Amino acid sequence: MCFAFRMTQARLCLLILCVSILVAAGPLEAQQEPAAPRATLLDEAKRPPDALREATARQEALDARPAQTVPTLLTLELATEILLQSNPTILAARQEVVAARGDVLGVDRWPNPELGFDVETLPVGVEREGTFLDGQELVLKVEQLIETAGKRSKRTAVAELAVEVSQSELLETVRVVKFDLQRRHYDVVLAKASLELSTEILDQFDEMIRLTEVRYQQGEVSGLEVSRLRTERMRFFSDQTEAALGLANSKIALLELLGVAEMSTEFSVAEELQFHGVNASADALARQALANRPDLVAQTSRVQRALGQEEYEKALGKPDLVPYFGYRRDFIVNALTFGVSLPLPFFDRNQGGVARALAETSRERQDLRRVELQVRREVLEAYNFVSARAVLIRALRAEYVPNARRARDIAQASYSLGALGLIAFLDAERAYRETLLGYNQALYDHQVATFLLDAVVGEERVQ
């Protein structure tokens, strides 16, 4: 649609054009004003650019904080706090959330208006009367794309769901890394217990060597028996050195996970190997996991995002309006022009995008079913492992450890009095050593299994 009228002053038309440009740009500036607060996860992403810059500055200040120091006596609770503040994997996952919120800022804006300037009928080799501008056509106009079918709101909804996915993925990362921390922390606990046990056994064996040497000096035993005892000491000394090496390496692995660059930091852990039973049933834990697991929540959000993408792809098949308003000078006529263009969706209605979105939704639903089955399997496997280790620990605690300790004590007393042979004494020492090492390993396996059960459920169980 177009109309024209003659004016006495071209400047008036230029002034009207400038005003029209400002009017067209006005709604875009209004988009930058902070929206009314909403109870969503995107409040920070909705803030104006100044607030976002302040949030970015605060994040940079947090990243620039000095590295966390590890206390001399480290508890698992304190190690978890250090992990959440300093672990690089968790910090990187947090930036994924920030990036997803930044995407919301881009999709929530109006398209920019377009300013066009055309010059037509330039005189070439032809003399014309009047001024230079009287011999050609000048067109200056502004176009503004207006999206229809709610494209902008649908696009924003998809971006908001992407933020929810990234937040659930952050919680999933925390869940996995936290379990790794618990396992590495108790690697140090086990190594410390093994070193204490090996040192105790070695000290006791050294005492038996000393008593045997006294008996040798009194002529009660032969020098061969003393040599056999000294040779056997190598087994217990090797246990002590291996335990010390395991303790040092397990501490290094724990410091690495905590994000501590100084891996020679000396510290000790406060926890001991203990046994705590699990009272909840497998079915109750499975229901709890299906409600709490972050990876399952993330996959559910992906299905919702795919459904939102379907709606957006269908909206893309609807044509958009492009109104324009401008100024035309046709030879000696000044004119205002306005109109609208509308694509006719006779052929392309984004059928390919819709088909792709439908397939993506079907795939995400199948992945959701896969994750649900995986969660159920992991809960049952962890529960069975905890139950099996509990049976073993109860048997070791009630029968095998007391019998091994009693047999070792009797063997030491009998051997020191000459009532027991060397071979029987060494067998009792080896049996005691193997039983206590197995008991410590069973306590460690059960504790790690309970941590795994907490991890697969998605939160700490109610004791």
In a domain, 2, yes or no: no
Cα–Cα distance between 185 and 170 in angstroms, integer? 22
Burial 216-246 (b: 16+ CB within 10 A, else e): beeeebeeebbeebeebeeebeebbeebeeb
Which domain range does residue 73 map to?
Answer: 10-457
In a domain, 97, yes or no: yes
Helix (H), strand (E) at residue 167: helix 151-217
Give the residue from 103, 151, 141, 122 showing the smallest Cα distance to 317: 151
In a domain, 305, yes or no: yes
Cα–Cα distance between 434 and 422 in angstroms, integer? 18
In tens, the pLDDT along 77-110 reads 999 999 999 999 999 999 999 999 988 888 888 8
Per DSSP, the residues of 234-266 read: HHHHHHHHHHHHHHHHHHHHHHHHTT-S-TT--
Give the model's pLDDT for residue 331. 63
Instruction: Report the chain's mean pLDDT, rounded to a whole number.
Output: 82
In a domain, 414, yes or no: yes
Give the residue from 84, 92, 83 showing the smallest Cα distance to 255: 83
In tens, the pLDDT along 346-387 reads 888 989 999 999 999 999 999 999 999 999 999 999 999 999
Give the model's pLDDT for residue 211. 87
What confidence category does residue 130 fall into, taking pLDDT thresholds of 50, 70 and 90? Answer: low
CA distances from 177 to 93, 170, 180, 323 (A): 11, 11, 5, 54
Percent of the chain with pLDDT over 70: 81
What confidence category does residue 19 fall into, taking pLDDT thresholds of 50, 70 and 90? Answer: very low
Cα–Cα distance between 366 and 372 in angstroms, integer? 10
Flag whether pLDDT at 44 surpasses 50: no
What confidence category does residue 42 fall into, taking pLDDT thresholds of 50, 70 and 90? Answer: very low
Flag whether pLDDT at 33 surpasses 50: no
Per DSSP, the residues of 49-103 read: HHHHHHHHHHHHHHHTSPPPPPPSEE-HHHHHHHHHHH-HHHHHHHHHHHHHHHH
Give the model's pLDDT for residue 126. 61
Give the model's pLDDT for residue 261. 86
In a domain, 360, yes or no: yes
Give the model's pLDDT for residue 452. 94
Helix (H), strand (E) at residue 330: strand 322-330
Instruction: Yes or no: say if 146 and 40 are a contact pair by the CB < 8 Å rule.
Output: no
Cα–Cα distance between 70 and 49 in angstroms, integer? 38
Give the model's pLDDT for residue 119. 79
In tens, the pLDDT along 240-273 reads 999 999 999 999 999 999 998 888 889 999 999 9
In a domain, 3, yes or no: no
Cα–Cα distance between 418 and 330 in angstroms, integer? 126
Give the model's pLDDT for residue 462. 37
Q: What is the CATH number of the domain that holds 377?
A: 1.20.1600.10
More confident residue, 58 or 242: 242
Cross-strand partners of 411: none
More confident residue, 23 or 402: 402
Give the model's pLDDT for residue 4. 35
Flag whether pLDDT at 275 surpasses 60: yes
Q: How many domains does the chain have?
A: 1
In a domain, 463, yes or no: no
In a domain, 226, yes or no: yes
